[in-house]
Amino acid sequence: MDMQYRRLGRTGLNVSVLSLGSGGPNRLGQSLYVPRKQIRRLVHRALELGINFFDTSSAYEHSETVLGNALKGVPRNGYYLASKVFPLQGDKFLGAADIRRMVERSLQRLRVNELDILHLHRITPEIYESARDHMLPVLEKMRSDGKFRYIGITESSSRDPMHRMVKCALQDNLFDTVMVAYDLVRTSAEVEIFPLARANDVGVIGMSTARHQVPRSMTARLKLLSGFLAGLVTSPPTRGQLKVRLRKILLILEHSGPKPLPPITRAGRGGPLQLPESAYTFAASQPAIATVLTGTTDVIHLERNVAAALAPALTAEEIELLHRFLP
């Protein structure tokens, strides 16, 4: 099935219904020490599948560099590129010079002269107004200088599950795109966020669609663990980084993952119903969302997620069934 494209609100960009992100737990293979050649193959396979939107951030360790290297040689008019800037350093807002320096560094790492979208990253309701008033004048000047084409904003799904910040941003109508968490369980954006976005023609990017899935098979878990252990040797972590990695190891060891689904075939509607792929079917079938982010380091995984995003929408009965097997 051919890739589908949707208009990303008033940006006018026609983006693939599934897009490739570089955040989440693996951050384009950095957490698992995946070879850069494998990431390059992944990115080029994404392009072959019709994916034309790539999302990254200066906060995702070296993701911008990894993605920029993977896209080296690809014509710039063949894809759209979004990155992000977090407005705080400690408890203080970045100064204008610091903001410019961060954006310039992102451009350098990504090997481009211009981004399609720059997002304010992980903005909570508590800092929204201050971030808006402090950052937008600087960003508008940088936009006029040709550093990026559109300005967006992303929420913190863990700290703002009811999308209070995004609601304020949509009411202000100062941002061209919003990035919102939406999945089989978290559907609250349907109530106010999606109608507001449609009314103001703001592009919606779906995130965190299937982020918390951990492989159930012991073989897959051992591969993850071997990557962590290799990293401890090749790149000794700081004390703080070691704590983060140990927590990830415990998650891999303890998490049982979603309950296995029975072999349910979607009669006349594609392949078997399964998690986490069905999460992409669900999110991509939401017409208010222009594109759904996926994060992976595996080409086969990516191909399955693309197929899921292009599959017919889940029925109410299928959604009810999936809810019984969610972790």
Q: Which residues are catalytic?
A: 60
Q: What is the three-class DSSP state of 180? A: strand
CA pair distance 219, 46, nearest whole angstrom: 26
Long-range contacts of 284-287 (CB under 8 A, 24+ apart): 284/17, 284/18, 284/206, 284/308, 284/309, 284/310, 285/312, 285/313, 285/314, 286/182, 286/190, 286/194, 286/206
Please state the φ and ψ torsions of residue 253, each to the nearest 5 degrees.
Answer: -70, -35
CA pair distance 159, 169, nearest whole angstrom: 16
* Number of CB atoms found within 10 A of residue 278's CB: 23
Pairing relationship of beta strands 5-7 and 14-16 according to DSSP bridges: antiparallel
CA pair distance 65, 219, nearest whole angstrom: 30
> Counting beta carbons within 10 angstroms of the beta carbon of residue 48, is it exposed (0 to 12), middle (13 to 18) or buried (19 or more)?
exposed
Pairing relationship of beta strands 92-93 and 88-89 according to DSSP bridges: antiparallel
Q: Could you give the angle at which helices 36-48 and 299-310 cross, rounded to 10 degrees?
A: 30
Token code pair at residue 108: 């350098």
> Counting beta carbons within 10 angstroms of the beta carbon of residue 217, is it exposed (0 to 12), middle (13 to 18) or buried (19 or more)?
exposed
CA atoms within 13 A on the CB side of 147: 22
Q: Residue 207: which of 85, 294, 297, 323 has the closest Cα?
A: 294
